[in-house]
Chains A and B, each alone.
Chain A
């Protein structure tokens, strides 16, 4: 896996079948997916390692990810099927302001296994 934002994290793996727009699709105050058309609607992502095939939708997703990280209601780490600079900048800014960015990697679903998974381990 290639690091977009390097770092270590572990958590239960949650596999999203579709990309998620954090803006409009994720509510930091509850940590849940609120996009009703998303296959994992209602799923909590707090503290999870989240795989999604791609980013999606709004360019405000970086703000929403940074805010979720600030209040401790974000995924522990993200693995994307393809690079997404919008989520990357959200994590970098949360790190800059509060020291709480989350690692983001690009990789295949198959590399991740299941259950509790670790990111950033050698």
Chain B
């Protein structure tokens, strides 16, 4: 690994013990990934602030107590607690305490308490070509694919190490070569399907399964693949696979350059493949509807406005949860009021599949999120049913699972 003079000083402890530990780990990880150089980053997003056990807390404290301070603007992912609505938490007190200590340690190092898995919805998100170090799988794939910023998949721990040093291994998705498409998904569906949100969830599931960690280019879509739909696609792909970047021809910023692919590793995706992928996520029991939850990744302002339009003047017959970030919630206060009047619980700072918020549910949980549907059965032991936002609302009002569009 070639090191700058400043790197050498950091490793010699001249910039403090926290920075020294951090750079040692950046270098060791870089060597494992085959990097020969480090590069400067202009921002970071930290996933390690979510409590997964004592190891994560011990590590953050070690860095914070060693004087570690971030040297680039750094946002924080969801945590285990909703600080705006602490009474929603149903877990044990000891875990809550440690989760709070973990959040404190990251703030002590100078990270911004944004508490969102969708940092790309914040006003100061990175731009085209910016080199950043992001954690959180859905944020990583969005940054690379939709923003044209450059990040590898930074795991917990390495993310904060990059933020404390401003350095990252110059390899893979940080480079042109690593961003080139090496396969294609050719999407061939009836034109009206491109207006269906669930299409993008299904495509994401298939992309993850077929691509693994490869960069794929998708053909057959158009500008109807807007940011929220690409968010859903990427989040699903990063759940069913290790996808960190994809291109959509004619839509994403590098699709005409690095995304151009004419090779023969092509997979045809038709209506049937997509409907099958979606159906596989839903359980097959005949249980009734227990609850509904939307907003994974965190709902955007546009999604909250659309949801408010669907629920206005109506009442949910089952518990209904909506996740969004504290920043986005303050942008659309009247939509939030309408959603709460519907009977929904608005959850900020965290996510309903990682922290005990939904109580014991009697029946299936309906969601519009491929990611939530993917992880909730393992994390929470619930059965899920997938549907569009409209399906979710209609089902909540009627108190039974109703599906329309692609799945009807």
Q: Which residues of A come within 8 Å of B, CB atoms?
A: 4-5, 19, 21, 23-25, 28, 34-37, 53-64, 66-67, 69-71, 82-90, 92-94, 96-98, 104
On whether the beta carbons of A59 and B154 are closer than 8 Å, the reply is yes
Cβ of B241 under 8 Å from chain A: yes
On whether the beta carbons of A57 and B238 are closer than 8 Å, the reply is yes
On whether the beta carbons of B28 and A24 are closer than 8 Å, the reply is no
A residues less than 8 Å from B62 (CB atoms): 96-97
30 residue pairs A–B, Cβ–Cβ below 8 Å:
A5-B32, A21-B239, A24-B374, A24-B375, A24-B379, A53-B212, A57-B238, A57-B240, A59-B137, A59-B140, A59-B156, A59-B159, A62-B156, A62-B157, A63-B48, A66-B59, A67-B52, A67-B56, A83-B34, A85-B169, A89-B25, A89-B155, A89-B158, A92-B28, A92-B157, A93-B59, A94-B55, A96-B62, A97-B62, A98-B55
Docked CA distance A55–B58 (Å): 25
Cβ of B53 under 8 Å from chain A: yes
Cβ of B399 under 8 Å from chain A: no
> Which of A34, A60, A88, A97 interacts with B52 by CB under 8 Å?
A60
**A55 CB → nearest B CB, Å:** 6
Among residues 7 to 63 in chain B, which have CB atoms less than 8 Å away from a CB atom of chain A?
21, 25, 28-29, 32-34, 47-48, 50, 52-56, 58-59, 62
**B44 CB → nearest A CB, Å:** 12
Docked CA distance A19–B240 (Å): 10
Identify which of B32, B47, B53, B374 gathers the most chain A CB atoms within 10 Å of its CB: B32
Docked CA distance A21–B378 (Å): 12
On whether the beta carbons of B212 and A19 are closer than 8 Å, the reply is yes
Docked CA distance A59–B240 (Å): 13
A residues less than 8 Å from B54 (CB atoms): 67, 70
**A19 CB → nearest B CB, Å:** 7
Docked CA distance A96–B25 (Å): 10
B residues less than 8 Å from A37 (CB atoms): 374
CB contacts between A and B, total, < 8 Å: 138
Cβ of B152 under 8 Å from chain A: yes
A residues less than 8 Å from B241 (CB atoms): 19, 56-57
Among residues 197 to 234 in chain B, which have CB atoms less than 8 Å away from a CB atom of chain A?
212-213
Chain B residue nearest to A28 (CB atoms) is B53
A residues less than 8 Å from B159 (CB atoms): 59
Q: Which 9 A-B pairs have the closest CB atoms?
A: A67-B53, A86-B155, A62-B155, A66-B55, A63-B52, A4-B32, A63-B156, A67-B55, A89-B158
A residues less than 8 Å from B238 (CB atoms): 57-58
Given contacts A67-B54, A70-B54, contact A62 B158 (CB under 8 A): yes
5 more A-B contacts (CB under 8 A) besides A19-B212, A85-B169, A90-B156?
A25-B378, A60-B48, A66-B53, A88-B28, A93-B25
Question: When each residue 133-157 of chain B gets 1 if its CB lies under 8 Å from chain A and 0 otherwise, what string results?
Answer: 0011100100000000000111111
Docked CA distance A62–B52 (Å): 10
Identify which of A54, A62, A64 gathers the most chain B CB atoms within 10 Å of its CB: A62
A residues less than 8 Å from B53 (CB atoms): 28, 63-64, 66-67, 70-71
Docked CA distance A59–B50 (Å): 11
Docked CA distance A97–B50 (Å): 19
Cβ of B377 under 8 Å from chain A: yes
Chain B residue nearest to A3 (CB atoms) is B32
**A26 CB → nearest B CB, Å:** 9
Chain B residue nearest to A26 (CB atoms) is B378
Given contacts A83-B34, A93-B59, contact A59 B29 (CB under 8 A): no
On whether the beta carbons of A90 and B239 are closer than 8 Å, the reply is no
> Which of B25, B137, B374 interacts with A92 by CB under 8 Å?
B25
**B95 CB → nearest A CB, Å:** 13
**B136 CB → nearest A CB, Å:** 6
B residues less than 8 Å from A86 (CB atoms): 153-156, 158
Identify which of A57, A64, A67, A69 gathers the most chain B CB atoms within 10 Å of its CB: A57
**A119 CB → nearest B CB, Å:** 15
**B223 CB → nearest A CB, Å:** 29
> Which of B47, B153, B377 interacts with A85 by CB under 8 Å?
B153
Cβ of B88 under 8 Å from chain A: no
Docked CA distance A97–B63 (Å): 11
Cβ of B242 under 8 Å from chain A: yes
Docked CA distance A104–B31 (Å): 13
A residues less than 8 Å from B47 (CB atoms): 59-60
Chain A residue nearest to B134 (CB atoms) is A59
Docked CA distance A62–B158 (Å): 9
Given contacts A25-B378, A54-B242, A83-B32, contact A60 B155 (CB under 8 A): yes
A residues less than 8 Å from B242 (CB atoms): 19, 54-57, 84
